[in-house]
Amino acid sequence: MALLTSTQHINEIHIWSQLRHENVIPLLGIVTKFDHTVSMVMEWMERGNAHEYAQDVTVDPRPLSLDIAHGLNYLHSLEIIHDDLKGTNVLISGAGRPLTTDFEFSYQSNPSSGPNAERSRGGSLPWLAPEIT
């Protein structure tokens, strides 16, 4: 994970802390006692991420895709753009439900609804929309 500036941390915490959906992993809190940085706390997901989980031939990826789409629809209903959605940023719960995480490069498309943090272009190059690369 890239080292974040304090503005990026504030933006990520602000966005993530307001999210409540069955396909978005909840932010449990923050800790500042490790290496003098801000660490965000979430539940540990033993099944790992969606990219690795879907490599198992016994896993049907179609329900995962539908649940990921439900979580993305929820984010968009709040005018939140994830900006780095990929298999490694979706964790799998013990029940096999995909949970979107990693809001490091997320932003609100309506900046009047939250802190007006400068939007940084981030994410993984292979997953970025062609118009912003």
Name the residues annotated as catalytic.
84
Phi, psi of 132 (to 5 degrees): -115, 5
Region of 56 (left: φ > 0; alpha: ψ -120 to 50; beta: rest) is beta
Of the candidates 126, 121, 117, the residue with the CA atom closest to the CA atom of residue 12: 117
What's 1's DSSP letter?
-
